[in-house]
Amino acid sequence: MSITAQSVWNNCLNFIQDNIQPQAYKTWFEPIVAVKLSDNALSVQVPSKFFYEWLEEHYVKILKVALRKELGENAKLVYIIKMENTYGNKQPFTERIPSSNRSAVKSQDIDVPLNNKNPQLRNPFVIPGIRNVKIDSQLNPNYNFENFLEGDSNRLARSAGLAVSAKPGGTSFNPLLIFGGVGLGKTHLAHAIGVDIKDKYPEKTVLYISAEKFTQQYIDSVKKNNRNDFIHFYQLIDVLVIDDVQFLSGKSGTQDVFFHIFNHLHQNGKQVILTSDKAPVDMQDIEQRLLSRFKWGLSAELQTPDFETRVSILKNKLYRDGVEMPDDIIEYVAKHIKSNIRELEGAIISLIAQSSFNKKEINIELAKQVVEKFVKNTKREVSIDYIQKIVSDYFQMDVDTLQSKTRKRHIVQARQLAMFFAKKLTKASLASIGSQIGKRDHATVLHACKTVDNLSATDKQFKKYVEDLTKKLSV
């Protein structure tokens, strides 16, 4: 069997996967693509310069060990960084960086003109016609880094946020896209970055706005025939924070205008920060040219906090509110409310309120009553492993068979159903679902979901499969 770049890289990945945390593997190694093998040098493509820098800083030792196991002591790793040219040139801008202490060789440099040094601000946040009005950043100072506690679930996103606030527009995290489920702190972190930048760089124009409000402003500008003024205003912002960018889905006009604003800001070294409930790969009805730009910097996921982080969050909130509470009560709440931070803090507020209004002592019994209401009103999320077990049992096969490469029809359909329910019942990204169900890619999961929808509508037997499994998985 001949040795190929892909086979060498696959062996390296198997070794790396066994030696690092699953989330780190998913974030830093799954996106890497093996390109070619020449002598003892393996060339791999990474999504951005930041990716290359992070790998060299944090994973260079394990990469060296893995490569030397495959290619011997003289093994070399070559990174290829691929980006698009924002000027509309179809040729990609490629930067090739040999590993460890060799200089970067750029195949094409883009000269970015700096225009509009001090043009007049036309501010959609103030009454038209009033000039030289300072722009309100729309930031909430209560959302800061001090009360955004670090844990394993948010360490990457928080660290990237601190790097951006220290040097806005001057890092590889541009844009910085923060994504994750409801109530995990995306908006808090976005505000914290903006607040920190305003503290460090008072002269910079920072603006926070929701994608929904941005869309409404754009519609108003079209009605009033001042679309160019709208674009011009946003092109003058130094740090633009857009919350819930997935709201642009299906709005082609707003996407087009944001595309032009984004390009101008990025080319002029201005910082863009975005939040979304989905990773770029899972966003529907967003133009490909925008999605590709979202991937230029760093996409950092906020995950559900672990028990220790949940306890720290509750203690921090109680401290800020000047309230004392026994540790066993705090730990009980943290143990039973796992879904998101918003519900966690809501339970503590409810507990304090119940105690105060009903003149009851805060004890475990009262905590149980409050937690029970929160848990009962929150739909429990099943795991992908659990879904695979239920589907496998239903079709009388083991999970290994479900995940296998076989193309037998009944196994393929079982696998597609597992992917369908994983997308429906969990908050996992398509890439994560594919990775856990037989190491498939996100496109396979998307195809599986469409196939299940189509077969449910045309095949009575298949429809029964879906109905039966829905009942088994209902929580």
Domains, the chain, ranges and CATH? Answer: 5-100 (3.30.300.180), 155-302 (3.40.50.300), 307-376 (1.10.8.60), 384-473 (1.10.1750.10)
Tell me the pLDDT tens digit for each residue of 315-374: 877 877 777 788 888 888 888 777 677 777 788 888 778 777 777 777 777 777 777 776
Residue recorded with tokens 């939040």: 275
Q: Is 186 annotated as a binding residue?
A: yes
Confidence of residue 380 (pLDDT cuts 50, 70, 90): low
Whole-angstrom distance, CA of residue 70 vs CA of residue 66: 7
What are the CA-CA distances from residue 113 to residues 108, 110, 116, 264, 333 (Å)?
A: 16, 10, 10, 10, 55
Confidence of residue 87 (pLDDT cuts 50, 70, 90): very low
Q: Is 434 annotated as a binding residue?
A: no
Supply the mean pLDDT for the chain.
80
- pLDDT average, residue stretch 73-98: 53
**pLDDT exceeds cutoff 60 at 99:** no
In DSSP terms, 263 is beta-bridged to none
Question: Do the Cβ atoms of 49 and 81 come closer than 8 Å?
Answer: yes
> What tokens does 427 get?
């908050």
Whole-angstrom distance, CA of residue 172 vs CA of residue 298: 8
Q: How many residues does the chain have?
A: 475
**pLDDT exceeds cutoff 70 at 208:** yes
Claim: this prediction has a pTM higher than 0.75: no
Q: Is 49 annotated as a binding residue?
A: no
In this structure, of 179-193, 202-216, 251-265, 278-292, the range with the lowest mean pLDDT score is 278-292
